[in-house]
Copies of this chain bind each other. A is one copy, B any other.
């Protein structure tokens, strides 16, 4: 069964508040060599059928999975 792995990330120009908090927490734990943390989503989708999957997943991202105003996305399909 084909599977799509989708990676949704905040656009690089935007402040990632959640990432900043995690970076601070890592520093407090003693990881002082962390210069940046950014947190995104990793979405695994199991699909049926084999036709037009790239086009379909791209449409899913644009319509629901990512907010194109503030987020970027990329995906790969495992067949």
A residues adjacent to B (C-beta < 8 A)? 1, 7-9, 19, 22, 25-26, 29, 31, 33-49, 56, 59-60, 63-65
Contacts and interface: CB of A to CB of B under 8 A. Distances in A.
B31 A60 contact: yes
A70 to B, nearest CB: 16
A61 to B, nearest CB: 11
A25 B56 CA distance: 14
A8 B46 contact: no
Given A41-B41, A60-B26, A65-B22, A1 B35 contact: yes
Contacts of A60: 26, 29, 31
Identify the 10 closest CB pairs spanning chains A and B, nearest first: A42-B42, A36-B46, A40-B42, A33-B48, A35-B46, A38-B44, A33-B49, A7-B42, A37-B45, A39-B43
